[in-house]
Amino acid sequence: MPELPEVETIRRVLEPQLAGRTITGLRLNRPDIISHPSAEAFQSSVAGARIKGMDRRGKFLFIRLEGKSILLHLRMTGRLLLVPSAFPEEKHTHIVFGLDNGAELRFVDPRRFGRFWLVRDGEEDTESGVHKLGPEPFDPALSAAYLQASCGQRKKAVKECLLDQSIVAGIGNIYADEILFVSKIRPERPANSLSKAEWKRLAENIPERLRYFIEKNAVTPEEYLAGNGTEYRNTPFLQVYGHEGEPCPVCGAPLCRTVIAGRGSIFCPRCQKEKRR
C-alpha cells in the first residue's frame, strides 16, 4: 500500500500538471468505487470543473476544484496516471478524467479497494474518514508529550500504535519499521513500557524519516510515467524493511522478522534490544 511518502510523491508530480486544467468529461468504468455521493451525482458535479490544485492528508489525496474537492484513497494497489488520450488504456482502469489539453487522468486499481468521494466546500465530511485522522507527522503538535499521552497507557505493541491513523496520519508498515529501527525500539514492545526518552526519540524520528524518504522518492513526471506510477526511488534507502536475514546496516547482526497485528515486522535484535525487566 502506498504510504505517506509515496502519496506525497504522487501529489508533487501531478499537481503542477493538473493545476489550471478543466475536466471536460468523466468516464466511470466501475461506478462502485465512488463512495459519496452517487456515481451519477459525482459525474455531473465534476464534469466542467476547473482544477485548482492538489493536497494530501495522511494517505488521502485531494483534487481541489472550484467550490468542492475530490478525495481519493489508493488503498492497496491504486495508481493515478496522467497520460495522453492516445496512450493505451490498462486493464483495471476504473475512472478516466478527460482534460482540456487532451490529456487524461486515469485511476488504475487491480485490487479494486481504492475509493473516491466528492465533498463541497463547507460540507461536513463524515464519509471518507479524514475527520478521524490524527496529526500529520510534520505537525508541531506531534510531540513526545502528545505521543505519550495518546499511547503511553496502552498495552498494545508500539508499532501497532504507530499504524493507528487516529494517532498519527500517514505511517504504514514500511515506515513504522524504519522509524522504530532508528529509534532503537523493538516493534513488539508494549507502548506502556516506553520511557520519556524513547517517546522523545520517536517524536523526532517520525518527521525526520518521512521527510528523508519523501526526498529520496523524488522523480520527474517522465520518470513517474515511465515507471507506470509505481517507480519510487527510496527502496534502496530502506534500512530494515524487506531485509529479513540480511546484516543490520549498523551492527551487522542478522535482521529478524516477527508478526504484529497480522503484519510482518523487521528489526535488529541487537540495536533494538528488549526492555530489561
Residues annotated as part of the active site: 2-3, 59, 263
Other CB atoms within 10 Å distance of the CB of residue 267: 24
Instruction: Check residue 94 and report its DSSP letter.
Output: E
Report in angstroms the alpha-carbon separations of 239 from 73, 163, 268: 27, 19, 10
Instruction: Check residue 255 and report its DSSP letter.
Output: P
> Can you say whether the dihedral through the CA atoms of 235, 241, 242, 248 is positive or negative?
positive
Please tell me whether residue 152 adopts helix, strand or coil conformation: coil
Residue 12 parent element (H or E): helix 4-18
Minimal CA–CA distance to 83: which of 232, 220, 221, 233?
221
CA 135, distance to chain mean position in Å, is 14
Residue 227 · residue 16 · CB < 8 Å? no
261 residue type, one letter? A
The three cell numbers locating residue 253: 547482526
